[in-house]
Homo-oligomer: A and B are copies of this chain.
Amino acid sequence: MNGMGEETGFEVVIVVPKGKRKEGGDMAEKGDSVEFLVRELEKAGLIVERFRGVPAEFLKIAAPLIVLGQAAAELELKKLTYIGMELQFEWDMVTAFVRQPDGSLFSWYERYSCFRHLLYGIVNKTDSNIALKFNDKDIKYEKNESLLKRLEIEGVVKQVFPLHDEVKRKQLLRKWALNWLDFTWQPVDEIYSYFGSKIASYFSFLGMYTRWLFFPAAFGLATQLFDFGRMQFLVLPSFFVFIISWAVFFFQFWKRKNSALLARKYFTFFLRSPDFVTNDSFMSGLAYMERITDNEVLFRHVYAKAEKGIGCFSVLWGINYSLNECKAMPSEANEFNYTDPIKKKFYSSRPAEKTSIQADEWWGIFRKVRNNVIVVLGIICLQLPFELTYAHLYNITQIEVLRYLLTAAYLIAIQYYTRIGGKVAVALIKYENNQGEDSSAASLVYKVFGLYFMQSYIGLFYHAVVYRNLGTLRKVLIQRLIVSQVLENLIENSIPYVSYNYKKYLALHKKKNDNSSPMGKNVRLSTRVEKEFLKPSYSASIGADLEDGLFDDYLELALQFGMIMMFACAFPLVFCFATLNNITEIRADALKLLAMLRRPVPRASATIGAWSNIFQFLIVMAICTNSLLLICLYDQEGKWRIEPGLAAILLIEHILLFVKFGLSHFVPEEPAWVRVNRLRNVSQARDLYSKQLLRSITKLEHKDD
């Protein structure tokens, strides 16, 4: 039994409580709901392995590719074909569809969607209700009801979660999490194929950010190490200009990289190096597509390339759209709800529909603005006085011990405050007319970030501006960076570990007390599945249904970015700390995901969008705050006269703001080669479709003759 548990191929597990063991070990009582579930799962074509672990009973599920394929066809999944178009998946045309970089047909996200569709798609198709039993409890399984949902409601199914793939996990652990040789390099493709696009884009952002951080870290170190003599007064302003330009360029290039990542999807494969696609299967797919399309010109071209052995085709990770379109797409599904059946009558004529949609839109904007006003007022009226009180008390307290007590009380208070704030934000966005999950998530991100922004920076501003106490500011900065970043890293990795061990202890302890089974004293968690069951999942500190653990990871990055950018001129060395911190962060996050937690549920959307806006906002804030800092530094005596120096700072500020908003005019967000590929695919598809439609007419007409 244990040996089987280590086998790959089982990708999802269903956890059920351990049923009472019948006399003679015969568990297959008539009408037993777990037994029934297993039979139904097997009927759906899934491979089920049932075994009793120490803490619970597990049903490990695997699926043959054909079953997944049929589920994908039922889901009407759109997949890229070798001719560069996305078509609805059909199992009998499988050769026409492009495979993943690692050779598998479906991406992890697609596979998991299919699994969910298969599991929750088991419904009672008979004409009558079925009576099921579990531990002597009666369960009524109604007509047309999803079995798994019913069992979840009745508490028979405790959890459904994806399993780690042991081989790939160990490979990633070796190549990525424990590979300390290259600081910032990461196997992005493998991360993508194991965790999906959302997590892969987080790590590629983190990696690029860390790599780029080396430059300001070097400059920051230089400002501390060298004495520039008479030019010393120019050092901070030039550091300011450098930092802002650095950040602006970094973000423009990140957007380009992001576009390229979306298009890594269009990766290149050569027919002569068919690691994952055999020449035969490719040629057959091509011939097949030719039969579909009858488009001689295109295929002559393709064949010509194929014969030369250097043919290359654009193949996707995911999607075939530009970044902007990508952002727009997820909400598409939701917008069709405008024409949902209930409202249909109302929308039967277009002008009425237009008016109604417009009313909906403005009402949505109104609610969004109202909610944001509530959040901003909440932050300003409740949090601001609180933070200022703390900063002030901290500043006037002379006794060290009192300070520590104050800080402790403060830390406890803000824990509660942010938790309440998060709940309020989640509650508020429910009343917003957000289009799709992605937009809700973004709205939540903005609101919660508002809270943390005030909490993290207002004290720093207080020291910087009101007291002009750069010494304290620096101390607080270092303290925050070390405490909030390094300690947080430790905590975020140790909490899962502690929680895992505690649960393990509980389970084993219960077992020992509960039942003096034949296995006797040497009770231990022998299978991987049991261990994973006890591990915590990758969840966000707020609103687990909207966001996963990436929320906390992005939040940490954003707060760090804000801290180092907004107070760059007060303490240039801070960039070195941030660099060191991020290098460890990459490995720590990787370890956490691979070793400490369950395999995360893959998510389709990438909310880097909302975070990207936050980073942009922080850059703009940094321009203003650094100007303010420079003015404070320049105008030590507090004369507040606009002398040349002060005017120069204001001028620099305006120029930098201008650069920030003008750069995208020169460096487009989408690299030209991505654009060329995308447009080529679009136009190819259009031409093909057009030809196809016209061709089918002529055929029909010939038939008529």
Task: Name the B residues within 8 Å of A666 (CB-CB).
Answer: 365, 368-369
CB of A672 closer than 8 Å to a CB of B: yes
> Is the Cβ of B694 less than 8 Å from the Cβ of A696?
no
For residue A692, CB closer than 8 A to chain B, the reply is yes
Q: Does A232 contact B (CB under 8 A)?
A: no
Give Cα A662–Cα B500 distance, bound, in whole angstroms. 44
Residues of B within 8 A of A368 (CB): 666
- B-facing mask of A79-115, CB < 8 A → 1, else 0? 0000000111010010000000000000000000000
Q: Mark A635-661, 1 if CB is under 8 A from B, else 0.
A: 000011111000000100010011001
Of the residues B325, B686, B690, B697, contact of A291 by C-beta under 8 Å: B697
Are the C-beta atoms of A690 and B641 separated by less than 8 Å? no
Closest to A675 in B: B335
Q: How many copies does the complex hold?
A: 2
> Contact at A690–B88, with CB atoms within 8 Å?
yes
Residues of B within 8 A of A44 (CB): none
**A351 located at the interface, meaning its Cβ lies under 8 Å from any Cβ of chain B in the complex:** yes
Q: Does A137 contact B (CB under 8 A)?
A: no
Say if the beta carbon of A676 comes within 8 Å of chain B. Answer: yes
Q: Which of B322, B338, B639 contacts A676 (CB 8 A)?
A: B338
A699: contacting residue among B305, B658, B699, CB under 8 A: B699
A693 sits at the interface (CB 8 A): yes
- Say yes or no: is A673 at the interface (Cβ < 8 Å to chain B): yes
Min CB distance A388 to B, Å, is 18
- The contact size tier of chain A is 35 or more
Which residues in B have their C-beta under 8 angstroms from that of A338? Answer: 676
Q: Which A residues, 300 to 319, have Cβ-Cβ distances below 8 Å to chain B? A: 305, 308, 310, 312, 314
Q: Which of A692, A693, A697 has the most CB of B within 10 A?
A: A693
Write out the residue numbers on chain B whose beta carbons fall within 8 Å of the beta carbon of A324.
324
Q: Do B358 and A671 touch (CB < 8 A)?
A: yes
Tell whether, in the assembled complex, residue A673 and residue B348 are in contact, meaning their CB atoms are under 8 Å apart: no
A667 within 8 A of B: yes
Query: Which of B358, B676, B690 makes the CB contact (< 8 A) with A357?
Result: B676
Of the candidates B353, B643, B683, the one whose C-beta lies within 8 Å of that of A640 is B643
Cα distance A14–B700 in the bound complex, in angstroms:
44
A284: CB under 8 A from chain B? no
Instruction: Tell me which residues across on chain B come within 8 A of A348, comparing CB atoms.
Output: 305, 308, 310
Among B332, B358, B639, B642, contact of A679 (Cβ-Cβ < 8 Å): B332
Report Cα–Cα, A43/B343, bound state, in Å. Answer: 58
Q: Separation in Å of the A151 CB from the closest CB of chain B?
A: 35
Contact A696 B292 (CB under 8 A): yes
For window 161-208 of chain A, which residues contact chain B by CB distance below 8 Å? none
- Knowing A672-B360, A690-B87 are in contact, say whether A350-B312 is a contact too (CB < 8 A): yes
A310 touches B349 (CB 8 A): yes
Check: A510 CB closer than 8 A to any chain B CB.
no
Chain B, residue nearest A322 (CB): B328
Contacts of A369 in B (CB 8 A): 666
Question: Which of B87, B613, B658, B661 sits near A693, CB closer than 8 Å?
Answer: B87
- The reply to whether B693 and A268 contact each other, CB–CB distance below 8 Å, is no
A680 within 8 A of B: yes
- Mask, A403-432, CB within 8 Å of B = 1, is 000000000000000000000000000000
**What is the bound-complex CA distance between A667 and B369, given in angstroms?**
10
A4–B90 Cα distance when bound, in Å, is 63
Residues of B within 8 A of A325 (CB): 325
Q: Bound state CA distance, A700 and B686, in angstroms?
A: 22
Say if the beta carbon of A361 comes within 8 Å of chain B: yes
Q: List the B residue with the shortest CB-CB distance to A683.
A: B332
Contacts of A328 in B (CB 8 A): 322
Cross-chain contact A700 with B360 (CB below 8 angstroms): no
Kindly report which residue of chain B lies nearest to residue A435, judged by CB atoms: B672
A226 within 8 A of B: no
- Subset of 9 A-B contacts with CB under 8 Å: A292-B693, A332-B679, A336-B679, A357-B673, A357-B676, A369-B666, A640-B642, A689-B689, A695-B696
Which 3 A-B pairs give the minimum distances between C-beta atoms? A361-B672, A640-B642, A357-B673
